[in-house]
Amino acid sequence: MDIPGHRQLPSPSSVPSEILDGFRHAAVAVVSDNMNRLHGTRMLRPYHRGARLVGTAVTVKTRGGDNVTLHKAYELLRPGDVLVVDGGGDLGQALVGEIMLSRARAIGVAGFVIDGAIRDVAAFAAADFPCFARGVTHRGPYKTGPGEINVPVAVDGMVVMPGDVVLGDEDGVVCFDRAVAGELLALVRRQEAREAEALQAIRDGRPDGYVGLPAASSSREAGR
């Protein structure tokens, strides 16, 4: 498919399964706490039935309301990838709907993160296929471009790099560089343990001084 104004870069390797498995049950809120509470989406909401999102970012930057570059990206999508789309937050035209959902599920894609609109909301609500988007419209997309694949994008204020780890749950979406996954997971586990202790103390009627401060990180990261 020849698309005027199209630029496509190769996808980075998939995030190793041991990294994804480590974060598969981690709450986005706890991960965000340990990324200085500065990173992640704010306005995107889940439109699916409740499945968690865990996978490798394949990024798309497109003109608002135009999905021709998303179709081109399907040639690169692998099982476990997350299609992350910077549509500029435009809500005038839907970028994905039931047909693109069905195609992605057939490939084994892990989910969608769309800074733009979707349609066929009933199909997403009935599915276990994770989809986070800014809004809904029945109006279909344009298909003229331009667009770019596997470039840095900004999605609802969150910078996403191709190959990042992407996590999503009922609270929203975060992403991070796989290189910091080990350190970040250790911080997340420490906070999970502290929160579990605090909740048990409350159930037991014991006073508890937990105030929800994340553990100090030894690196500059845990979120870019």
Q: List pLDDT tens digits, range 41-65.
A: 999 999 998 889 999 999 999 999 9
Average pLDDT, the chain: 92
Check if the beta carbon of residue 140 is closer than 8 Å to that of residue 93: yes
Q: Mean pLDDT over residues 120-136, rounded?
A: 96
HSE (side-chain half, CA atoms, 13 Å) at 124: 23
Specify the pTM. 0.90
User: What are the b/e assignments for 30-57, b being 16+ CB within 10 Å?
Assistant: bbbbbbeeebbbeebebbbeebbbbbbb
